[in-house]
Structure 1
């Protein structure tokens, strides 16, 4: 394999990141990356453990004379969100990530990079090899974080030996995260019936190139929701012309703000000019914060087309309009931080229903319950069938934390800057892990990553070096 990252510092970190990038690791497809970590552990004579969920623990024993110092756990997840541009032929089940270096930026070719959270694995592996670290070090690599935190939630008690855990899944340098939101998913079905409308003209409208982004980290930023915008188009078109509703889709990940949507309509009238006019109207409306938003119209002929009823169409439009998406409440203690939110994430047409997936987040379980009740009322009013997932727990702020205090102290010493202490709205595995490990002291840090969960994802190289050096010094300060 030709090394694209050779010579980039820290060399060990980027060596392993490039190795990891060769291995497909979509959520629920982590066996290969898990086995790769096991082989790394065996090769380096580490205590190595792999459970039935493919979680891996690698443990380096303390250097002689340092056995009594507290052990440190480094933690990240193996899986990545697999998003790509519409014109990409990348197959996430078998193709390696095609890495591109542009100055200080590392990105991928028309796909997500997987810095979230491949950089944690790469840093952890490099730190296990770092002979300057004398205390016991463990690397915990978990599975299915991006969909349900399944690996972290299933990790059995008494496997980890360390008393402090540094999660490496944060995305902004200079911030130590000490709390995060919990969340739940709603799976919704709107029943539909169909009728044969015979031969007709078909209109396929595609909405593309919205910014999208992480439904926790970017939910407070002004970003268009493709499912909402497509319904706005449909409502305007219904007032201007006659058509039949065939199918609709939008979004692909429950934890990503939907970037794309598509609808298939049928009409015996020529409605292309009206469609184009409304598309332009919407582009003008959202130009301020979605400048790249685009529409594509394809026209074809169809026979024996099965269309939904007018009542089904109207129910769908009303339901999507009624479902809120975005910030629900802000934290009272930190008014600039989102407390709770909802993301109208996925729409897809099935044989007998339109399926909708909504993700809810909150750092306060009581507020999450209130949001669930609010959403239930909306969905009941629209005649929808729905169920809630089991969800994942919040990570609550800890009043006393030696690790947090040391993290702030070391950062100030290294860079003469104050480290920002933050509770975030995105979900982190610390909350899930604390269920079986309530006595571990948790923090989360990481290098600058931007636009994660989108094909525009980037990792800053020099930030990665600084954060790696910082973590080394932080660990050393603990013994």
Structure 2
């Protein structure tokens, strides 16, 4: 971690190095929370932990800035735990092995946690500093953003006194965000029965790996393959050749990450072996050709294996394959108001076969509640044709852009002062917590900005060192330019 501490701005990277050393996957943030509280006590910084587990820090204005509006600096404590298949990393016990790779900082075989660790580090650095000009400031450090936004959902009115909120969870330096997508989870569960496999049955296993994956919001428009959809595509091809029985089914790991890996095995009539191998090989070749320019490390392995004694019945298998193969995925519509921005999308994130159940978890995102509700109705219509039970949960609102935002103008002008150019004003197709903050604090004036982070939610995640320095300068300049009350 020492090489991170050598980077500039040193004060920010020092905190990020400490954060990387503390395991903090979603729902396991307690160790990091305890560390922050201990640090705050040592520094005599006012803090409280609310009823849901969020940390709130408070710091008085520096001399001459007492009349400025109160600002809340906001980040989330947790990170997405994704590792390459050859990694033995335990996200609940092992530190992130971050290192400098040229112009970037990345991690060995896992997500880095720059999302939102850099933002968190910058907030702690502001509170730690004695030479940064600012008015009264608060910090809102939320729990469980990546796995359900539990902290944002549980935020109570009255705890924050701020009229302005600076969210640090965006991932492209030079862009300032004034809105984001909302979202919600859909779960489809099939109750399945086991059926004895024919005595002379054959079986094939399919293993898909090497995909880039990524953030199911920010990267949904990159054309990357979804391992679950490729797996279902191959199963559907097999089903067209012979009645099959699914023996195993496992794909993806998180609802908000584009699946990078998937595995399945299935049983079929012995007489179809040669033809089955042939058509699957052709389909694999087609997939490889289609994604040649995007998924340069794609690997699809087909192996003939011993057939199990029992597998999912042919009836249940056919229903599962047909419905999940037909399940919409990726971009559903583009915004008609903001050019180049995804309006609505779906991510078939997780598929599991466990204990006589096959389950699928799908994340919907949309800039509008009506768009999310429409795709949820699409999914309901699809799965109503099957025996699956369907449930929707965890819906959260989007952050509607405010074109009259005063803090947006402050950030724009601050960026212009620093870099002699205007930042791009954007809406992001990802689930920032800002929409939920509006529920408890409807009058908050909010904006989001951050450094350049590539491939969040995947082991390829990396943050550009130079942009962290520019982000830090923008944070300090913005705090100095906050208007009076």
Does the alignment pair 1:375 with 2:379?
A: yes
User: Which runs of 4 or more aligned residues in structure 1 lie more than 6 Å from their structure 2 counterparts after TM superposition?
Assistant: none
Q: Which residue matches 1:225?
A: 226
Of the candidates 428, 439, 443, which is equivalent to residue 443 of structure 2?
A: 439
Match of 1:315 in 2: 319
232-241 vs 349-358, which deviates more?
A: 232-241
Contact 1:112 1:456 in 2 (8 A): yes
Q: Which moved more, 1:441-450 or 1:240-249?
A: 240-249
**1:329: which partner in 2?**
333
Out of 329, 334, 349, which is 2:353 matched to? 349
Deviations 1:17-55 (A, max 9, x none): 010001111111111111111112111111111123321
**Counterpart residue number, 1:456:** 460
Mapped partners of 1:78, 1:292: distance in 2: 32
Give the match's secondary structure for 1:465.
helix
Counterparts of 1:384-399 in structure 2, within 5 Å, are 384-399=388-403
Q: RMSD of aligned C-alpha atoms?
A: 1.8
5+ residue gaps, structure 2, are: none
1:408 to 405, 412, 415: 412
Task: Report the TM-score, using the length of structure 1 for normalisation.
Answer: 0.95
**Aligned-pair distance for 1:302?**
5.4
Q: Which moved more, 1:342-351 or 1:447-456?
A: 342-351
Are the equivalent residues in 2 in contact too, given 1:75–1:167 (CA < 8 A)? Answer: yes
Residue 423 of structure 1 corresponds to: 427
User: 1:6, CA displacement in angstroms?
Assistant: 2.5
Q: What corresponds to 2:240 in structure 1?
A: 239
C-alpha contact 1:205 1:295 (8 A) present in aligned 2: yes
By how many angstroms is 1:260 displaced?
1.0
Preserved contact between residue 143 and residue 151 of structure 2 (Cα < 8 Å): yes
Contact 1:4 1:99 in 2 (8 A): no
Q: Which moved more, 1:275-284 or 1:160-169?
A: 275-284
TM-score normalized by the length of structure 2: 0.94
**In structure 1, C-alpha distance between the alignment counterparts of 2:250 and 2:148, rounded to whole Å:** 22
- Report which stretch shifted further, 440-449 or 45-54: 45-54
Q: Which residue of 1 aligns with 2:249?
A: 248
CA contact (8 A) 2:239 2:318 kept: no
- Higher alpha-carbon deviation: 163-172 or 320-329: 320-329
Corresponding pairs, count:
477
**Does residue 148 of structure 1 match 2:162?**
no
Point out where structure 1 has 5 or more consecutive residues left out of the alignment.
none
Corresponding residue of 1:172: 172
Q: CA deviation at 1:279?
A: 2.7
Distance 1:66 1:418 in 2: 26
| 8 Å Cα contact 1:237/1:278 also seen in 2 | no
Question: In structure 1, the residue corresponding to 2:412 is in which secondary structure?
Answer: helix
CA contact (8 A) 2:227 2:252 kept: yes
2:98 equivalent to 1:99: yes
Aligned mates of 2:296, 2:120 — CA distance in 1? 35
- Aligned partners of 2:244, 2:384: CA distance in 1, in Å? 27
Separation in structure 2 between the aligned mates of residue 306 and residue 425 of structure 1, nearest angstrom: 43
Q: Could you say which residue in structure 1 is the equivalent of 2:137?
A: 137
In the TM superposition, residue 316 of structure 1 has moved relative to its aligned partner by 1.2
